[in-house]
Structure 1
Amino acid sequence: MNNVDKNTFLNINLKSISKNYKIIENKVGKNCIVAATVKANAYGLGVKKIVPSLTRIGCKFFFVATTNEAIQLRKINKKIKIFILNGLITKELNLIHKYNLIPVINSLSQLKKIEHYQKQKKITLNISLHFDTGMSRLGFDKNETKELINNKSRLIQKSKILLVMSHLSCADNSNSKLNKIQLNQFNSIRSFFPKSLHSLANSAGILLGKKYHLDMVRPGISLYGGHCQMNEKKIYNDVISLKAKLIQIREIYKGDTIGYGATYKAKKRMKVGTLGFGYADGFNRLFSNNYKILLNKKRIDIIGRVSMDLTTVDLTNLNSKEDLMNKEFEIIGSQFSINYIASLINTVPYEILTNLGKRYQRRYISI
């Protein structure tokens, strides 16, 4: 990867991803397909490594957001089934045909376009139908759903409906009444498509129980070690750790300030280290004066404001004889997981993971 920093390291444990996949398989049972959601470059961790790792343990179905993402996957593997969640763009029909991709059809207009294309080309394509049961984001709305069900034989003449799906809006809250409402709505809709696969559950939906698993589940964040439900216990293995080496050490004195805004003022003589990552690399400014990193199990305070490319830490209490410049400090890891640090700044692990920048040197662990 171009423009990587030789002093910052994002370790990605492929074995942990495989273990998480197997945990999900055991939860849903042998009659339910586990399809991996690898949109946004596998949540920023790299499809070129992660997709082959998952196919080796039996994953054959993958979900992405866009046609470009789908084509990238097809170039990695010729045999897997690839679904495009964001739907159909007319000018991409030739690419969908060429690369044997499965568009998730989200509206009647999209359905009519792909039907017309197939009639012109005298071909049959696999598609998925997405019905909106409560997200109000993508999928056939209530009126379109009714029209499609009442006119199914006229509207669907060429397409092979491989999958019928919907998406849960509140699965992160297992007590939400909307979960059961959506399940009931989807069960009613899917009864009109008995020959297709049926899917409702994302990562959080998997934890709602067997009724939500149906024929296929679509985990995303759970594969990568992130929590997806409120107050979720540790079920899955951590996948990433983030480490960095110092790029400078300096001494400051009582009254000296650190960083933009002078938000930290030294009360005594101190040793300060500078690390080469910042908010441009996905390390949020909210961690300014509000986070600890690790070295040899010792907790070290971030002091001063996190800037675009740099973060400063207090090294005062570390052994002065250690060669600190060659040590790797742990920013994210087993002590400070993506779930823990997301809670510190009131966000979700999805955001922490997908924001991790391209400048980190990625190291893949497969043993």
Structure 2
Amino acid sequence: MTGKLRAMTTASSLLTVDLDALAQNYTTMRSLVLPPCKVTAVVKADAYGLGIEQVAKALNAANVRTYFVATIDEAIELRKHTDRKIATLNGFFRGAEKEYLEHDIIPVLCSLDEIDRWTYSKRCFWQVDTGMNRLGLRPHEFDKAFERAHYQPAFIMSHLACADDPAHPKNDQQRKELAAIETRYPLMRYSLANSSGIYLGSEYHFDMVRPGMALYGLNPMPELENPMQNVVTLETRVLQIHESQEGETAGYGATYKFERPAKLATVSLGYADGFLRAGSNQAKLYWQGQPCPVVGRVSMDLIIVDISNLPVNIIPPYEGDFLEVIGPSQSADALAASFGTIGYEVFTSLSRRAERIYKTSSGS
């Protein structure tokens, strides 16, 4: 047996990645900007935990021309799967010059020191810090950078701190900071917008946009209905069905006490799989669209869920069935909210224990 049939017999959890939806989300991003603005793809952290090989294959077919990753190691791995441009967001690592050149990687230079050390060609980007205080040249350093460099960068970039909050004044402040540099150096090309930044409007697009999270189905506009297609479905195996009695407790630390008899399902998922411990007594799994609350602490490999309140017309799960963790009933963003975090952390926390199934119109 292969594909999903094999996974159904051996896997503790199933992670299905819809590559057609991924490609469609990239197409959606392209539809929001006007040529000649370039639309790239951010695939750092193993394509947000979904698997760089298969994701790159799908995005290559969708005609992505430039990729962004975080580190040189990620870039070297990605180079195995694409001949397109690859840039590293986290600067130019000292001592790694050979790797950048050998694998044709574009460094995003973030300091005067990095600009001084990159002596090979103009094939680089510069990052300016317009207000995040994280990485990049300060705006007042730009004149000095151009005086010292023997080349001009292909792009000058910055990164928005509050793009997921359209009303935040920081967005306009950062846009104006980058626009001021553009006024001084009008022949250069510029980039500011991430996924959420694309939705702030065309004045944020400049010459290149860098969508990441939205490609994978996360909501770039948290206060509105998600415009992206769902890419990820995560299901986990039921290991045991049993009854609890009034007064008994669930899990480590006895943090949940049953006030009445309950029917429980123990499932093969825990914090070692990326289901965060913050979901203890908070998160929900779903069976046929019905919520099943987590009771007790999330263990390393196991979760207990209460299936007592399923409607009478729904047959309850049995040992070997799979409960939905992420999917039609619960988005990654909704699950993340129950953890008190964001969808990025949910995706990038997913462990390799889940059997990955890549779904396309031509079959899994």
Normalising by structure 1, we get a TM-score of 0.89
Unaligned runs of 5+ in 1: 119-123
RMSD of equivalent CA atoms: 2.1
CA deviation profile, 1:181-222 (whole Å, cap 9, x unmatched): 221221221345444432111111101100111111001111
Q: Counterparts in 2 of 1:62-81, with a 5 A limit?
A: 62-78=67-83, 80-81=84-85
Equivalent residue, structure 2, for 1:38: 43
Determine helix, strand or coil for the equivalent of 2:23.
Answer: helix
The answer to whether the Cα contact below 8 Å between 1:164 and 1:190 also exists between their aligned partners in 2 is no
1:323–1:166 Cα change, 3 Å? closer
Partner amino acid, structure 2, of 1:363: I
The answer to whether the Cα contact below 8 Å between 2:12 and 2:353 also exists between their aligned partners in 1 is no
Is the deviation greater in 310-319 or in 33-42?
310-319
Determine helix, strand or coil for the equivalent of 1:59.
Answer: coil
1:24 deviation in Å?
A: 0.8
Is residue 193 of structure 2 the alignment partner of residue 201 of structure 1? Answer: yes
Could you tell me which of 327, 332, 335 is aligned with 2:329?
335
1:299 deviation in Å?
A: 2.6
Partner amino acid, structure 2, of 1:277: L
Q: Sequence identity of aligned pairs in percent?
A: 36
Is residue 231 of structure 2 the alignment partner of residue 234 of structure 1? Answer: no
Equivalent residue, structure 1, for 2:133: 136
1:109 deviation in Å?
A: 0.6
1:143 deviation in Å?
A: 3.6
The answer to whether the Cα contact below 8 Å between 1:129 and 1:163 also exists between their aligned partners in 2 is yes
1:323 deviation in Å?
A: 6.7
Is residue 10 of structure 2 the alignment partner of residue 17 of structure 1? Answer: no
Could you tell me which of 198, 208, 213 is aligned with 1:216?
208
Instruction: Give, in whole Å, the separation in 1 of the partners of 2:283 and 2:139.
Output: 47
Determine helix, strand or coil for the equivalent of 2:86.
Answer: strand
Instruction: Give, in whole Å, the separation in 1 of the partners of 2:189 and 2:37.
Output: 10
Count of residues in correspondence between the two structures: 351
Q: Counterparts in 2 of 1:151-166, with a 5 A limit?
A: 151=147, 155-157=148-150, 159=151, 161-166=153-158
The answer to whether the Cα contact below 8 Å between 2:293 and 2:306 also exists between their aligned partners in 1 is yes
Instruction: Give, in whole Å, the separation in 2 of the partners of 1:344 and 1:321.
Output: 26
Could you tell me which of 33, 50, 63 is aligned with 1:28?
33
The answer to whether the Cα contact below 8 Å between 1:164 and 1:193 also exists between their aligned partners in 2 is no
Equivalent residue, structure 1, for 2:106: 102
The answer to whether the Cα contact below 8 Å between 2:190 and 2:208 also exists between their aligned partners in 1 is yes
Partner amino acid, structure 2, of 1:128: F
Is the deviation greater in 271-280 or in 204-213?
271-280
The answer to whether the Cα contact below 8 Å between 2:287 and 2:317 also exists between their aligned partners in 1 is no
The answer to whether the Cα contact below 8 Å between 1:13 and 1:364 also exists between their aligned partners in 2 is yes
Instruction: Give, in whole Å, the separation in 2 of the partners of 1:172 and 1:317.
Output: 36
Instruction: Give, in whole Å, the separation in 1 of the partners of 2:95 and 2:88.
Output: 15
The answer to whether the Cα contact below 8 Å between 2:278 and 2:340 also exists between their aligned partners in 1 is no
1:288 deviation in Å?
A: 1.9
The answer to whether the Cα contact below 8 Å between 1:97 and 1:125 also exists between their aligned partners in 2 is no
Partner amino acid, structure 2, of 1:32: C
Instruction: Give, in whole Å, the separation in 2 of the partners of 1:323 and 1:100.
Output: 52
The answer to whether the Cα contact below 8 Å between 2:122 and 2:154 also exists between their aligned partners in 1 is no
Normalising by structure 2, we get a TM-score of 0.90
Determine helix, strand or coil for the equivalent of 2:80.
Answer: helix
Unaligned runs of 5+ in 2: 1-6
Determine helix, strand or coil for the equivalent of 1:91.
Answer: coil
Is residue 82 of structure 2 the alignment partner of residue 85 of structure 1? Answer: no
Is residue 115 of structure 2 the alignment partner of residue 111 of structure 1? Answer: yes
Equivalent residue, structure 1, for 2:62: 57
Instruction: Give, in whole Å, the separation in 1 of the partners of 2:208 and 2:317.
Output: 52
1:47–1:270 Cα change, 3 Å? same
Instruction: Give, in whole Å, the separation in 1 of the partners of 2:341 and 2:154.
Output: 35
